C-alpha cells in the first residue's frame, strides 16, 4: 500500500513491507543526505515543523531532509511565541497550520497529541515524539542503523537499556523488533521497567521478550545495545528521579566482553549513560545513527508527499 497522503503516528501504522520500502529508499538517498548529489523531489512543497518540546536531531534532520530535497519549512520551535500563549488550542493551531503547509511534523510533551493533530489536520501528520508515547521516525532510523550494520533485522538479540517506562523511542522500537523477529532483552533500573500494557501487547504479537538485570550479562549476549537516557522531564516526583539517576553507565571497559560486531546505539541526547571513551571503540554506532536520520526522513517525506512534478 502507498504511503502517499498518510499520517504516521505510531510505528504500528506501517506494515513490515512499508518499513522495508522506506529503508530501501533511504539507502539510495544517502548521497543526497551527504550533499554529494542533489534532488528537487520536494520542490514547491512546504513542511511545517510544529515542535512544542525541545529537539536538536529530530527537528534539524527533518529540516535538512526537506531542504536538501528542494522543499521549504515553516517552523514553530517555541510554543511561547505562538498564539497558544493567548489560549489557542492545539487542535486549532494544527488545523490552521495545515492550510499553510503540505505536511506537519509534530513533537509535543503529551502522549496522544500527535493523534489529535492528525484528526485536526487536513494534511498528513508525522509524529516526531509525543510524551512517553511513540517516536516512529526514530524507529525507522534505528532500524536503518541495525540493517546497515547486520544486513538484516531478523534473528538478532537487542538489549534495550535504561528508562523503558518513559522512553518513547523504545516503546516504538520494541514493536518493530517484534514484527521483524528479533529478540528483545529488557534491562532497566527498578521503577523504570517497560510498562505492563506494552509487555502484554508485545507478547500478544508474539514478541520474544526477556529481562536481564545484570548489565554485564546483557552486554555479552547483545548484538545491539540500545541505550536510553532517563527521561527526567517526565518525572512528576523529583525524589523518584534521584532514586534512579546515574544507576547505569556504559563505558569502554564494560564492552570488553562484547561480541566483536556488537553495536552500541542511543537516540541521543546522552546525559552520562554512555561514557565518552566508548566513542572511539568499534562498537559506537550512535553518531552514524543520528546521520541516518536525514536519508530516512527524506525517504519518508518523499513517500508521504510524492515527488514534485516537473515544470510546476
Ligand atoms: N533522538 C531525538 O529525538 O533527539 P532530539 O530530542 O534532539 O530530537
Residue that the C-alpha cell 531542504 belongs to: 67
Beta bridge partners of 211: 186
Q: Does domain 11-133+293-305 have CATH number 3.40.50.1370?
A: yes
**Residue-averaged pLDDT of the chain:** 96
pLDDT exceeds cutoff 70 at 272: yes
Share above pLDDT 70 across residues of the chain, in percent, rounded to a whole number? 98
Peptide bond before 65: cis, by omega within 30 degrees of 0?
no
Note if 4 is an active site residue: no
What pLDDT was estimated at residue 312? Answer: 38
The one-character DSSP state at 272 is S
Q: Which fold has domain 136-290?
A: Rossmann fold (3.40.50)
Please work out whether the CB of residue 98 comes within 6 Å of at least one atom of ligand 1. Answer: no
Average pLDDT in the 55-65 region? 98
**Alpha-carbon distance 223 to 258, whole Å?**
8
Alpha-helical (H) ranges within the chain are 16-34, 57-68, 90-97, 113-120, 136-150, 168-180, 196-204, 215-221, 238-244, 286-305
End-to-end Cα distance, the chain:
26
b/e sequence 241-270, b meaning 16+ C-beta within 10 Å: beebeeebebeeebbeebeeebbbbbbbeb
141 lines ligand 1 (CB under 6 A): no
- Three-state SS for 155? coil
pLDDT digits (tens, 9 = 90+) for 280-304: 999 999 999 999 999 999 999 999 9
Crossing angle between the packed helical segments 168-180 and 196-204, to the nearest 10 degrees: 10
Pocket test for ligand 1, best of 52, 62, 129 (most atoms within 8 A of CB): 129
In angstroms, rounded to a whole number, what is the distance separating the alpha carbons of residues 205 and 199? 10
Name which of 190, 261, 194, 269 is nearest 227 in CA terms. 269
Q: Which three cell numbers stand for residue 267?
A: 537516540
Ligand 1 centroid from CA 55, angstroms = 5
Ligand 1 nearest-atom number relative to CA 54: 6
**By C-alpha distance, which of 187, 192, 190 is closest to 220?**
187
**Tens-place pLDDT, residues 178-236:** 999 999 999 999 999 999 999 999 999 999 999 999 999 999 999 999 999 999 999 98
86 is catalytic: yes
Nearest atom, ligand 1, residue 135 CA: 3
Task: Count Cβ neighbours within 10 Å for each residue of 122-153 and write b for 16 or more, e otherwise.
Answer: ebbbbbbbbbbbbbbbbbbbbbbbbbbbbeeb
pTM value > 0.75? yes
Mutation to probe ligand 1, out of 107, 140, 268, 270 (largest number of atoms < 8 A from CB)? 268
**Domain ranges for the chain:** 11-133+293-305, 136-290
For residue 204, the SS3 value is helix
Cell numbers found for residue 30: 544517502
Distance CA 89, CA 214 (A): 46
Which pLDDT does position 309 carry in this prediction?
53
* 307, pLDDT greater than 80: no
Same fold, 11-133+293-305 and 136-290: yes
* CB distance 212 to ligand 1 below 6 Å: no
Grid cell digits, residue 226: 540500545
The answer to whether the beta carbons of residues 47 and 102 sit under 8 Å apart is yes
Indicate which atom in ligand 1 lies nearest the CA of residue 268. 1
Amino acid at each position: 500500500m502507498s504511503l502517499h497522503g498518510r499520517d504516521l503516528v505510531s510505528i504500528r501504522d506501517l506494515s513490515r513491507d512499508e518499513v522495508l520500502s522506506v529503508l530501501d529508499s533511504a539507502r539510495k538517498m544517502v548521497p543526497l543526505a551527504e550533499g554529494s548529489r542533489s534532488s528537487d523531489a520536494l520542490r514547491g512543497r512546504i513542511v511545517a515543523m510544529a515542535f512544542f518540546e525541545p529537539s536538536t536531531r529530530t527537528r534539524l534532520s527533518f529540516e535538512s531532509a526537506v531542504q536538501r530535497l528542494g522543499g521549504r519549512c515553516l517552523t514553530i520551535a517555541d510554543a511561547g511565541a505562538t498564539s497558544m500563549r493567548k489560549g489557542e488550542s492545539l487542535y486549532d493551531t494544527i488545523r490552521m497550520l495545515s492550510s499553510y503547509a503540505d505536511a506537519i511534523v509534530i513533537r509535543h510533551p503529551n502522549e496522544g497529541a500527535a493523534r489529535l493533530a492528525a484528526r485536526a489536520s487536513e494534511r498528513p501528520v508525522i509524529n516526531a515524539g509525543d510524551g512517553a508515547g511513540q517516536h516512529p521516525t526514530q524507529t525507522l532510523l534505528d532500524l536503518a542503523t541495525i540493517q546497515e550494520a547486520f544486513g538484516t533485522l531478523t534473528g538478532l538479540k537487542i538489549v534495550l537499556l535504561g528508562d523503558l517506562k518513559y522512553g518513547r523511542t523504545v516503546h516504538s522500537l520494541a514493536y518493530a523488533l517484534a514484527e521483524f523477529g528479533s529478540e528483545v532483552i529488557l534491562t532497566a533500573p527498578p521503577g523504570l521497567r517497560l510498562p505492563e500494557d506494552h509487555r502484554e501487547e508485545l507478547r500478544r504479537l508474539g514478541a520474544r521478550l526477556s529481562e536481564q538485570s545484570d548489565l554485564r550479562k546483557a552486554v555479552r549476549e547483545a548484538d545491539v545495545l540500545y541505550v536510553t537516557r532517563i527521561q527526567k522531564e517526565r518525572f512528576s516526583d523529583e525524589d523518584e528521579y534521584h532514586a534512579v539517576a546515574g544507576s547505569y553507565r556504559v563505558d569502554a571497559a564494560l564492552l570488553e566482553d562484547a561480541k566483536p560486531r556488537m553495536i552500541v546505539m542511543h537516540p541521543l541526547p546522552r546525559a552520562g549513560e554512555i561514557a565518552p571513551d566508548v566513542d572511539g571503540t568499534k562498537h559506537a554506532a550512535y553518531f552514524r545513527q543520528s546521520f541516518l536520520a536525514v536519508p530516512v526522513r527524506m525517504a519518508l517525506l518523499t513517500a508521504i508527499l510524492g515527488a514534485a512534478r516537473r515544470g510546476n
